[in-house]
Structure 1
Amino acid sequence: METPLTKRSERLKSHQWNALYLLSATSALVGAVAVAIQPLLLDQVFGIPFEKEGEINADVQVVAEIIAILCVGFFSFKSDRVGRVPVIFYGFLLISIGAFLLPMSYEIGLSVGIGGLIAFYFARILITMGADTAQTLLLTLVGDASNFKSRPRLMSNATFMIVFGGTVLSAIMMQVAEIENGILLITIGLAFIGLAGAWMSRLSLVDVSDRRDDNRHPLLQVWDLVMADPRMQLAFAAAFYTRMDLVVVSLFYSLWCISMADMVGETRLFATAHAAAMVGFLGAGVLLSIPLWRRFVENHSRIHAIGVSLSLASIGYVIIGLIENPYNWGVALPLFLIGVGHAGSTVTLEVLTVDVSPRKLLGSVLGTLYLIGSIGIIMLVQSGGYYFDAVGPRAPFILMGTGKLLVLLFASWLIVNGIEESADHTLTGNRDVSWKSLVFLTSALPFVWLVGRMLVGGYAPGGDMTDLPVGFINRYLGDWAFTFLIISLALRPIAEMTGLKALTRYNRMIGLYAFFYAVLHVCTYVSLEWVFDLDDMFADIYKRPFILLGLISFILLTPLALTSRRDAIRRLGGKKWKKLHKMVYVLNVTVALHFIFAAETENGEPYIYAALVALLLGYRYWRRRGVESADLCDGSCGDRKAGKRVVCTCGKQIEV
């Protein structure tokens, strides 16, 4: 049933649409320029050494995205209750504050005693959080103000303006970097853009959707929606690898150009401006293809549209990975292909999501889609940073291409299993789709990336042994083993806090992948690093005691992996099995210590991992204390069972 407010959503005035499109371009402009200018700021202001550029730049982007995930997701959920426009207004204010602090972050950090880099992190977080919040809620507002017939056109228009701002306008603005005090002028410009955006959003925009009055947690409602429609599962999987296109290309192509500037006789300022100009070809691919994608989405299956767009983008990434010189104008073609693929994925995901989602839940669904994309940025940028430093500047692009091919396989699997759309975009052949296959493939992706890189230039016959250092392989596998351990430890708390009980069914798979990467980590150390020379290994352990912590951790992990099957629970008995698997808490502590002592002093990443472990273990302790202090059943229900303390059928605790 349509309410007056819903009817009004179809009658936005032309000046309101113009303001909405302009603000969409502005939010994307800010986000792209912040990423593009970051390597230059860290190089000129902070003097980051060349060999650390990839890792430090990736860390800054990852930290900004982690904070943005939490805040943008919260703001998106909140907008279903308070409206989109107030949140958009404050998003642009955050942009202005962050941009104002950015050029002065070094001095501010030193003056307050927190260090210039910490202040830089804070300013970047504000900009990223503001730009992403504004952009996500502006797209949500477009979805609110459209109907089924007009949605492909309106969402395509908004996407066009977002890409236009994030590529063409940002490329133009980045040319200012070459002039004297250009960096300062750019950051001041971003601050004024933030203020202008806040003023325009308050003056011109109006909320057009009904408020959500359901008290059920929005994440649970989004989960039910995604579980009921395989197309939404594909959309969320594709979002993981789509939103990162502009960030990855802007960051790593800019770093690539800067790292090669001295070799080709150019300044780093020229390299930054050149990279921004070349990224314009990606924008051209997006802008020119959006009208074609709009017609394709209107007349064809959205599953096919996602598959075709992912194919084009992955081809572009792989071609870039085969080019040796970033200043070669041949880079323009693969960048254009990435842009075409990005446009198709973005338009299709937005139209599909808005079509399937209930209007009152739209902000929460798009916010969750943003969260998935941000998680993709975090994982792919972090991995790309490792590859950039240890393997070479082309490696991150091959990394991205293989990820898109993975989702393409999932889309093909849906079609082969008869899950398709009819001509009017209704789902045909619907059936329950288990996420286990997708979780399994995604968890295997780090291994696939590593093997693929070895085949390209590492340890394959005829390859260059030095192209992929053993130290990088060992660190890479160890990082992923610890990452999967933390994910496994976090699944149950997340399920308890959100009510998404289905998450716990993937706990065993994630834990076994942690063991898988740990085995590879140990095998790499024994075989590739020391070639089974026990004397040298013992000498290395004596020299670097943290290796002993790693071996202890592996010994603790092995019985947990071997007894993870259900038949092991029957053989050992429930109590013995639970007691054995409590070793996972000790295991995470020993791995965290191993990680900290193995890291270089200036690398703060191990402390972030250790903080996550402490947080998750603290939650477990808090939950256990809560259970022990719960009300005890007095036996009046007549259901006393054997055992020291168990849960009665009445819901309280029994102590026998």
Structure 2
Amino acid sequence: MTVEHPAYRIGPIHLAPGILPRHGWSFLGAAFFSIGLVTFIAIGQTYVLTEHLKVPTAQQGSISGDLVFWTELITLALFIPAGILIDRIGRRSIYAIGLVLLGLTYALYPLAESVGDLYLYRILYACGVVTVAGALSTVLVDYPAERSRGKMVAIVGVLGGLGIVVTNQGLGALPQTLTKAGFSGDEAGLYTHLVIAGIALGVALLVALGLKGGTPVHKKDRPDVRALFVSGFAQARNPRILLSYASAFIARGDQSVNATFLVLWGSTAGIAAGMGSAEAIKTGTLIFVTAQIAALLWAPVLGPLIDRMDRVSALALCMGLAAIGNLALLFLDDPLGGNATYFFILLGIGQISVYLGGQSLIGQEAPKRERGSVIGAFNVSGAIGILLITSSGGRLFDHLDPRAPFIVVGVLNVLLFLASVYVRLKAPSPPIADDHEREHAGVH
């Protein structure tokens, strides 16, 4: 017997059973700001190091890498517990708490009196990143029907890219605007960070009021805490889930390298060319934003394509694009040169491709009862990627070449391309029915 259930949509996206349009629209609104709020730390930190703490530019690469390393040590310890809370308490509450923690971080950051204070504030930031990234990724798995997963991931990628452009380009330029208006460098940094903190609190309110409460599984059917704790690692026996964990390692490392070292590369090059600190940071930010604009324009092209492909084959394609983007920087000597824009476009295309491919694969493979925990393990792998790539990348940036962190990521992209081809041949994906299709066919 066929059982009819309302099949809601938002635009081209078919929603999973039980997800209302207001839940979907609220999530898209939160997704617009979330990644920008996470990544603004690179721009704000560069300004704080340069203007507030007067750290020489020759030391900023190592300090930035160490701060990221410290952050990722904390996130490594917290992603699995956060995933358990997401599965047990619900996505909405944890997501909102994470945004509040990000807001507190930005309110405190310009008050730092030493680099040591930044390490302390990074604890709050790490907690915010863990909860926001874990909840966002889990909701991204929950909300679309399987037939629309690639498109949903692409739209969230586009919105995240737009949010990065608006947050980082608009507010990244705010210190220069304020100093031109007569504010001191310290005041400009403080007011900019307070604006970001206010945005974070506003988005937390949107999440608290707009997302669906609870979890997709009834309370009596939820696994216990011990089962959730081990499930993320146990699921790695599935080679496609293991491959998606490896993709998170690269994707998060790639994203962090771009956010941290593109801004820093452009800023230090600008200062070397005689620019003031605010102008140089604005120039560095523009380079990062160029890559993000390329990413958001590419995402709606790639997303529908992923929905028509085997997800492992799609990931192989994505890794190939990322390898091209990162390794192409071997041929770029000056980030401020006239042809540099083309290289940053390739870089942005590669970054968003790996994100879309990895998220689509884990979204297909993560079991419903343990999604938060599996996404937690997925994010742990990403944290390890950031930890290893950016900590070594900061030293390579300072002592070898500003392009070195990107080349390291490019080599890893090549290795994951080969791994994707191997998994595609040795462990092909089984057919997976769409939730709506099962229901409309009367299958239970």
TM over 0.5: yes
| Counterpart in the other structure of 2:136 | 138
1:226 counterpart = 2:236? yes
- Partner of 1:467 in structure 2? none
Instruction: Tell whether the 8 Å contact from 1:305 to 1:345 is kept in structure 2 after alignment.
Output: no
Q: Secondary structure at the match of 1:392?
A: coil
Query: Structure 2 CA distance, aligned partners of 1:221 and 1:148?
Result: 22
Q: Equivalences for 1:287-298 in 2 at 5 Å? A: 287-298=296-307
Q: Is the 8 A contact 1:80 1:362 kept in 2?
A: yes
3-state DSSP of counterpart to 2:274: coil
Segments of 5+ residues of structure 1 without an aligned counterpart are 107-115, 427-656
State how many pairs are aligned. 411
Q: Name which of 89, 104, 107 aligns with 1:100.
A: 107
1:486-537 per-residue CA deviation (whole Å, 9 max, x = no partner) reads xxxxxxxxxxxxxxxxxxxxxxxxxxxxxxxxxxxxxxxxxxxxxxxxxxxx
**Is the 2:324–2:350 contact (alpha carbons within 8 Å) kept by the matching residues of 1?**
no
Task: Quote the Cα distance in structure 1 between the aligned partners of 2:280 and 2:379.
Answer: 31
Name the counterpart of 1:82: 89
CA distance in 2, matches of 1:10, 1:172: 38
Aligned amino acid, residue 395 of structure 1: A
In structure 2, what is the equivalent of residue 363 of structure 1? 372
Match of 2:68 among 61, 86, 95: 61
Q: 3-state SS of the aligned residue for 2:173?
A: helix
SS in 2 for 1:243: helix
Contact between 2:100 and 2:128, CA under 8 Å: does it hold in 1? Answer: yes
Aligned equivalent of 2:427: 419
CA distance in 2, matches of 1:167, 1:318: 24
Q: For 1:390, which of 399, 407, 422 is the aligned residue? A: 399
Contact 1:54–1:386 (8 Å) recurs in 2: yes
Alignment RMSD: 2.4
Contact 2:102 2:200 in 1 (8 A): yes
Q: Which residue of 1 aligns with 2:184?
A: none
Alignment partners' CA distance in 2, 1:300 and 1:324: 37
**In terms of Rg, which structure is larger?**
1
The residue type paired with residue 72 of structure 2 is: E
User: How far did residue 174 of structure 1 move?
Assistant: 0.7
| Paired amino acid for 1:391 | L
* Secondary structure of 1:149's aligned partner: helix
Q: Please tell me whether residue 120 in structure 1 is matched to residue 118 in structure 2.
A: yes
Distance in 2 separating the partners of 1:138 and 1:10: 19
Q: Which of these residues, 251, 273, 292, is aligned with residue 264 of structure 1?
A: 273
Counterpart CA distance in 2 for 1:399 and 1:182 is 36
Give yes or no for contact 2:44–2:193 (8 Å, CA) kept in 1. Answer: no
> Match of 1:392, as an amino acid?
D
For residues 414 and 348 of structure 2, the distance between their equivalents in structure 1, rounded to whole angstroms, comes to: 16
Distance in 1, matches of 2:118 and 2:127, equals: 14
Q: TM-score, normalised by structure 1?
A: 0.59
Q: Take 1:315 and 1:244, find their aligned partners in 2: how far apart are those partners? A: 16
TM-score (structure 2 length as normaliser): 0.86
Q: Is the 8 A contact 1:313 1:341 kept in 2?
A: yes
User: 2:154 and 2:28 mapped to 1: Cα distance?
Assistant: 11
Change (3 A) 1:388 1:412: same
TM alignment of 1:209-224, pairs within 5 A: 209-210=216-217, 211=219, 212-224=222-234
Paired letter, 1:259: T
Structure 1 residues 154-553: aligned runs within 5 Å: 154-179=152-177, 180=179, 181-207=187-213, 208-210=215-217, 211=219, 212-227=222-237, 229-415=238-424, 417-421=425-429, 424=431
Give 1:120 deviation, angstroms.
Answer: 1.6
Instruction: Give the drift of 1:9.
Output: 5.3
CA distance in 1, matches of 2:225, 2:18: 30
Deviation, structure 1 residue 11: 4.3
Partner Cα distance (1:12, 1:323) in 2 = 47
Which has the higher mean CA deviation after the structures are superposed, 141-150 or 82-91?
Answer: 141-150
Q: Which residue of structure 1 lines up, in the alignment, with residue 442 of structure 2?
A: none
Output one character per residue of 1:513-568: Cα deviation in whole Å (capped at 9) or x when no partner: xxxxxxxxxxxxxxxxxxxxxxxxxxxxxxxxxxxxxxxxxxxxxxxxxxxxxxxx
| Whole-Å separation in 2 of the counterparts to 1:215 and 1:402 | 38
